[in-house]
Structure 1
Amino acid sequence: MTDQPTPSEEKAGNTSLGDLLSEVTRDVSTLMRQEVALARAEIQQSAKRAGKGAGLLGGGGVAGFLAVLFVSIAAWWGLGYLIGNAWSGLVVAVIWGIVAAVLYVNGRKALATVEGVPQTVETVKEIPETLKRNEENR
């Protein structure tokens, strides 16, 4: 049985190094363009879904605001029969002030715990060191 070269081995044997590198570069370039196109398509699809979700959340927020507004007006009116209209308005305003203060304090605490993107920052810091090692190995 004779050792016959495969078509890939024949091509490698008959093609110059420059042509082989050119072909590899072209293939890598094609692969990168395809990956970018895939990422773009995925981002567009995700953005459409996020836009729809954001619109629905915005509509829900407006409806919730109107519900709270009318419940507050009803409470103001109902308390007006018990303690007078001016004082009932002040009571409802104080209640909403307390709610706002509690939400503000909890929101500040939640924002204080946000760390950003620590893993990404760490890996980006490692890039120069990685490139430096590669240049030394040449």
Structure 2
Amino acid sequence: MAGTERPRPQDVPVENQRSLGELFSDATRDMSTLVRSEIELAKSEVKVSAIQVAKGSGAFIAAGALAFFAFPFLSVAIAYGIHALGLGLGWSFLIVGGAYLLLAGALAFFGVSSFKKVRPPERTIRTTQETVATLKTVG
């Protein structure tokens, strides 16, 4: 493998060495090529992910539509099931409606308590302020 070794800079005659400008130009071109390649790779990966997200979203929308249409049927079935236990039909529907109102209230309480836990991005604000302060002292 002795023939594949690169010559050391001090072994190359001065007239055959590249200038600093040429080296900088080559480095800039190589960096540009690398960035473009990374962008193309990211685009292809995002495209595949976007297709999967679209498929998943479509499935969730279909499931939601089916659940939306099944809900009234199941509600009526529950009310008639309670009626079959010997309670009046009106009371059966009132029980089902009351149960839904209790569930809605519990979900609303959970939602409000979740919103109260939301805080501003304190670490991001702090690090941004530190960066701005650092840039002001440098500039």
Same fold (TM over 0.5): yes
In structure 1, the gaps of 5 or more residues are: none
1:1-138 residue pairs with structure 2 within 5 A?
A: 6-7=6-7, 9=9, 10=12, 14-80=17-83, 82-114=86-118, 124-125=128-129, 127-128=131-132
Residues 102 and 83 (structure 1 numbering): CA distance in 2 closer, same or farther, change over 3 Å?
Answer: same
Question: Does 72-81 or 56-65 show the bigger shift?
Answer: 72-81
With normalisation by structure 1, the TM-score equals: 0.69
Residues 63 and 101 (structure 1 numbering): CA distance in 2 closer, same or farther, change over 3 Å?
Answer: same
Q: Which amino acid aligns with 2:25?
A: S
Percent identity of the aligned residues?
34
Return the alpha-carbon distance in structure 1 between the equivalents of residues 35 and 133 of structure 2: 25
Return the alpha-carbon distance in structure 2 between the equivalents of residues 112 and 77 of structure 1: 40
Report the Cα offset of residue 49 of structure 1.
1.1
Return the alpha-carbon distance in structure 2 between the equivalents of residues 8 and 111 of structure 1: 65
Name the count of aligned residue pairs. 131
